Chains A and B, each alone.
Chain A
Amino acid sequence: MNIFQPGDGMELPLGNKSGLPNSVLIAEDDPIFRRILESWLQKWNFQVTAVENGLDAWKALQQENAPRLAILDWMMPGLDGIELCRKIRNQAQGAYKYLLLLTARGSKEDVVAGLEAGADDYLTKPFDANELRARVRAGKRILELQGELVKAHNELQFEAAHDHLTGLWNRGAIMDLLHRENQRSTRIGEPLGVIMADLDHFKQINDSYGHQTGDAVLREVAQRLLESVRNYDYVGRYGGEEFLTVLTACTASNLAITAERMRVYVSEKPVETGTGPIPVTISIGLAAHAGGPDLAREEELVRSADTALYTAKANGGNRVEHSPENLSTDPVPSGALR
């Protein structure tokens, strides 16, 4: 399992996924020009979709993985190039489309009208291969730049929501996710579970082996926690050596089973570090909400799990305790689960 958990609405929907980088749409009613464009672009290794009118072009651009580079003839039956440009630009969502308008008119007014309608560039007929190639290259360059921007934006968003050391959700993000899932489970009446886990005697590890080793232990424990849950559960670093896991559609008994699995999986093998193997254990506090009509406050859930964690620590650590407060109508197995 990958420790990074992108997705979950924390990314922009654009990215490199949408639109094959080397695909192009041609909308041209004249069969001769359509064939010329198709032939040249194929020769330059483009994947070409060719249509005869504006309406078909519009439909083709609505498809998933639609080309992001479009060559549109100005004069077409139905929806002409200018109208098509406007329609595409009025569509707010989706990846940016680079629009190259094809015209047999050369007047300044026409060019201005085309650019104002949303075309990125224009090409006057009859054009030759070199000119087309240069303009298409310019378009590709813009799309690539835009792709890099979106990628940088996504990376920044990822960094803003993730803990740098462990790659888990950071405190702000895991609390946002808890809020979102809490609202959702209340609305649809699904149970929700919260697991607060804390590394036992972490200060001693840091003091004895140094912070670098301490960091390596945190990274490995984070990885083990992730591997103990379902891939749609959320694991976050809540504080220094404290981890908060949010489990959706999880009954109190399943929550207890998962927590016990986490405890065993973390302590089963010592963590291999540069300074040798280090045995680690965690203490866990649980809180569950049965879902439906009463909304439990997420702060309350976290506080309950924290209180249970404190009890687990007080009872010697390396154990699971559930919240004493009744946040759930689903019976939680009583007592320590160790």
Chain B
Amino acid sequence: MNPMVFGGVQCSRSTSSDLQPASCANCSGQAIWEKAEALKRLGGDEDLLRELCQIFLEESPRHLQKLREAIADADAQATMRAAHNLKGELGYLGAAGATQAAQELEDMGRQQTLSRAAEVFIFLERELASLHIALRNSDGASV
């Protein structure tokens, strides 16, 4: 495991103000997810955040699968919808890199230009994998 990835989320037992964003290899200086930011948005409700992470871990593979199929079928409309759904959830968790990738895919779907979609999808898939590991290892979810 790359300790860089978990730099931020490992210290989740400490107070949220101590939290530093974790950085990853793909996006320099950007966190996989901003736990502090997500927690702040939830009014500091740790239990709710834990529950939402759990839901995300269960739900996101389904969204990702839908997105994969939509891109494979060159279905712009379905790509837009699946990417849109993912974007919303990722945005809420403060997963900046993944959110940006989902946003790009949504835009591509809307503009019906899927030529670069597969490439962005691979990046998104990798970000999501890192996010899954980060979420599982943080206090935010217990699996």
Where the two chains meet, the residues of A that have a C-beta atom closer than 8 Å to any C-beta of B are 29-33, 35-36, 39-40, 75, 104, 125-126, 128-129
Residues facing A in B81-121 (CB within 8 A) are 81, 84-85, 87-89, 91-92
Contact between chains at B85 and A30 (CB < 8 Å): yes
In contact, B87 and A104 (Cβ under 8 angstroms): yes
Q: Report Cα–Cα, A127/B59, bound state, in Å.
A: 21
19 additional contacts (CB under 8 A) given A36-B52, A39-B45, A75-B85: A30-B85, A30-B88, A31-B59, A32-B52, A32-B56, A32-B59, A32-B92, A33-B92, A35-B55, A36-B42, A36-B48, A40-B43, A75-B81, A104-B88, A104-B91, A125-B88, A126-B92, A128-B43, A129-B42
Asked if B51 is an interface residue, CB under 8 A from chain A, the answer is: yes
Interface contact A36-B92, CB-CB below 8 Å: yes
Chain A proximity mask over B41-60: 1 for CB below 8 Å, otherwise 0: 11101001001100110010
- In the complex, what residue of chain A is closest to B63 when comparing beta carbons? A30
Chain A positions within 8 Å of B81 at CB level: 75
| A-side contacts of B84, CB under 8 Å | 75, 104
Question: Which residue of chain B has its CB nearest to the CB of A74?
Answer: B84
Which chain B residues border A129 with CB–CB below 8 Å? 41-43
Give the residues in chain A near B45, CB-CB below 8 Å: 39
A308 CB to closest chain B CB, in angstroms? 75
CA of A129 to CA of B59, assembled, Å: 23
- CB-contact partner of A39 in B48, B56, B88, B91, under 8 A: B48
Bound complex: CA A27 to CA B14 (Å): 36
Sample 26 A-B pairs with CB under 8 A, ordered by A number. A30-B85, A31-B55, A31-B59, A32-B55, A32-B59, A32-B88, A33-B92, A35-B48, A35-B51, A35-B55, A36-B92, A39-B48, A39-B51, A40-B43, A75-B85, A104-B84, A104-B87, A104-B88, A104-B91, A125-B88, A125-B92, A126-B91, A126-B92, A128-B41, A128-B43, A129-B43
* CB atoms of B89 and A35 under 8 A apart: no
Bound-complex Cα distance A125 to B106 (A): 15
**How many residues on chain B are close to A (CB under 8 Å)?**
18
Name the interface residues of B5-38: CB closer than 8 Å to any CB of A: none
Given the known A-B contacts A75-B81, A75-B84, are A125 and B91 also in contact in the complex, defined by CB atoms under 8 Å?
yes
Of chain A, the residue at the smallest CB distance from B58 is: A31
Contacts of B41 in A (CB 8 A): 126, 128-129
User: In whole angstroms, how far apart are the Cα atoms of A126 and B92 in the complex?
Assistant: 6
Q: How far is the CA of A73 from the CA of B45 in the complex (A)?
A: 23
- Bound Cα distance A29, B87 (Å): 14
Chain A, residue nearest B81 (CB): A75
B93: nearest residue on chain A (CB-CB)?
Answer: A32
CA distance A29 to B66 in the complex (A): 15
Of all chain A residues, which has the CB nearest B106?
Answer: A104
Question: Which residues of chain A have C-beta atoms less than 8 A from B43's C-beta?
Answer: 40, 128-129
Q: Which 5 A-B pairs have the closest CB atoms?
A: A129-B43, A126-B92, A32-B89, A126-B91, A128-B41
Which B residues touch A32, using CB under 8 A?
Answer: 52, 55-56, 59, 88-89, 92
Of the residues B52, B85, B88, contact of A35 by C-beta under 8 Å: B52
Measured between C-beta atoms, what is the minimum distance from B90 to chain A in Å? 10
Shortest B101–chain A CB gap in Å is: 15
User: What are the residues of chain B within 8 A of A104 when measuring CB–CB?
Assistant: 84, 87-88, 91
* Residue of chain B at shortest CB distance from A34: B55
A29 to B88, CA, bound (A): 12
Q: In the assembly, what is the distance between CA of A124 and CA of B43, in Å?
A: 18
Task: Give, as a whole number of angstroms, the nearest-CB distance from A89 to chain B.
Answer: 25
**Cα distance, A32 to B56, chains bound together (Å):** 7
What's the minimum C-beta distance from A117 to chain B, rounded to whole angstroms?
Answer: 19
- Specify the chain B residue showing the minimal Cβ separation from A125: B88
Chain A residue nearest to B37 in the complex (CB):
A126
CB contacts (< 8 Å) of A39 on chain B: these are 45, 48, 51
Q: How long is the Cα–Cα vector from A129 to B44 in the complex, in angstroms? A: 11
Q: What CA separation (Å) do A31 and B41 show in the bound complex?
A: 17
Min Cβ gap A141→B in Å is 22
Q: Which residues from B are CB-within-8-Å of A35?
A: 48, 51-52, 55
Minimum CB–CB distance from A123 to chain B (whole Å) comes to: 13
| Structural contact, B89 and A30, CB atoms closer than 8 A | yes
- CB B77 to nearest CB in A, in angstroms, measures 12
Complex interface: chain A residues within 8 A of B55 (CB): 31-32, 35
